[in-house]
Amino acid sequence: MKRSKIFQIFGLLFFVVMVTVATNYVINRNNTGQNQQGFNFNQIPASYANFKNASRAGDTDFTVAAELTVNAVVHVKVKSEVMQSRGFSGDPFFEYFFGPQLRQQQQPQIREGAGSGVIISSDGYIVTNNHVIDSSKEIEVVLNDKRSFTAKIVGADPNTDIALLKIEEKDLPYIIFGNSDSLKVGEWVLAVGNPFNLTSTVTAGIVSAKARNINILNAAMKIESFIQTDAAVNPGNSGGALVNTRGELVGINTAIASQTGSYAGYSFAVPSSIVQKVVSDIRQYGVVQRAILGVEIRDINGEFAKEKNIKTFDGAYVASVVENSAAEKAGVKIGDIITNVNGVVVKSVAELQEQIGRYRPGDKIFIEIQRDNKKQKLNVELKNRQGNTELVSSDVNIDLLGATFKEADNKIKEKFGLDYGVEVKSVDKGKFSNAGIKSGYIILKINNIKMSSEKDIETAMKAVMDNADQNKVLWITGFYPNGKTAYYAIDLSN
């Protein structure tokens, strides 16, 4: 047989074998691509095929983000003074007749704490958590290159747990703000901080959820709309940076979900949208300008929706409307469901609080409500806590008291023959709580001046702070609804 004939035969055989193998591969591939229910696992979902950034999925190179941020995260060391009770003997003359009396004396003790902070400008402005520096007497900031500086507090906001510090230095590395609104669940993020007093440490995780309310802030007008991540965060990370893969600041790490105090799966960060507003207000006005809608709201669950015959689970249900508030003036009624603020959809109480928290008194916005299962749009001019549209003075910050107030009820006034008085409506973490003042307390006088409104309290605070010749103390006279008189002293100097 000629050699050419042999090559032709072998070529034909090779072709037949390859066609057979390919056919069997295709058959087997199609068979394994289906389960018993007939789903084709090899078909690309239309939603994924149409997703513009699908080509970026799986990109987990965090080196650029880490390099951009690690040197701009600092270690914050805090010394604070706490009062500790110590037993001591009373008046010797009294004890001679009635025996030894053990009393409690408050002795100051120095407590040390630590957290993290984020440099946000080259001239030394640093963001951290309010709970990191709360009641501090001395703050030291240690940079990632080991340089140390004394920091001063520019301002703090317990309602969002954000504080702004300042150190005197130039040409510092800093992190630029990113847009926390654009974060998507499942997106990679990095947590940069100083856990366990180590230098800046980077951990990675994904955005697990947004607009989480975990009820951890003890403040009169708290805003909780946290970014939840599974990036490892431990003690000392508080006040550190949550950044996206571009190295932009999208949150300030604040809390962990843990029964042990150490990382156990989830951590929570204040979104950069809130942080920017707080920082901007503190720098511009010296105090956060809090816009108030004037409603009491709640989330909607299945049982509540059935009870109220509501056909949606999204939005914030209006349980009550404050008299003379921005909401009342705009026409909001009990039973309305707020679903949108200035074009931004809100699905929960946390999301509504986050959106309103971005505005200042006097800002004009629109909200969308659902009433009787029909949509309406209402125009709202937001107010401050005093019920007007003026910006709050930077001289005093009434939020430091940690309480909300209202004019004393007419029944109380009639019962005790008064024509003035301010009721403490609620008490959270702050100076009132520390002093032992409870909700329901009727304030009659501060520094011997009659109180009739929250504005009067603010005026009394300002008078004390402006007087350089006296101690910064509010001497408060009042009583509880049961008629028990009580006196308190609130020191504003620390």
The residues carrying an active-site annotation are: 131, 161, 238
Query: How far apart (Å, rounded) are the C-alpha atoms in residues 427 and 220?
Result: 7
Report yes or no: 73 and 144 within 8 Å, Cβ to Cβ. yes
What is the helix (H) or strand (E) element at residue 68, kind and residue range? helix 63-69
Q: Bridge-partner residues for 414, per DSSP?
A: none
- Residue 41 tokens read as 């696992």
At 272, phi and psi to the nearest 5?
A: -65, -25
Query: How far apart (Å, rounded) are the C-alpha atoms in residues 492 and 127?
Result: 23
DSSP characters over 426-475: EE-SSHHHHHT--TT-EEEEETTEE--SHHHHHHHHHHHHH-TTS--EEE
- Residue 159 tokens read as 């309602």
Query: How far apart (Å, rounded) are the C-alpha atoms in residues 441 and 400?
Result: 18
- Share in percent of the chain as helix, strand, coil (round to 5): 25, 35, 40
CA-to-CA separations, 386 to 284, 428, 456, in angstroms, rounded: 21, 19, 10
* Ranges of H-type helices in 180-300: 272-285
- E strands in 70-221: 73-89, 102-119, 125-129, 136-142, 148-150, 152-157, 162-166, 188-193, 201-212
Indicate the SS3 state at residue 4: helix
Q: Bridge-partner residues for 241, per DSSP?
A: 192, 252
Query: How far apart (Å, rounded) are the C-alpha atoms in residues 479 and 417?
Result: 13
CA-to-CA separations, 35 to 30, 31, 71, 271, 343, in angstroms, rounded: 10, 8, 51, 43, 44
The DSSP bridge pattern shows strands 374-381 and 364-371 to be antiparallel
What count of Cα atoms within 13 Å lies in the side-chain half-sphere of residue 218?
12
Query: How far apart (Å, rounded) are the C-alpha atoms in residues 210 and 132?
Result: 23
Indicate the SS3 state at residue 303: helix
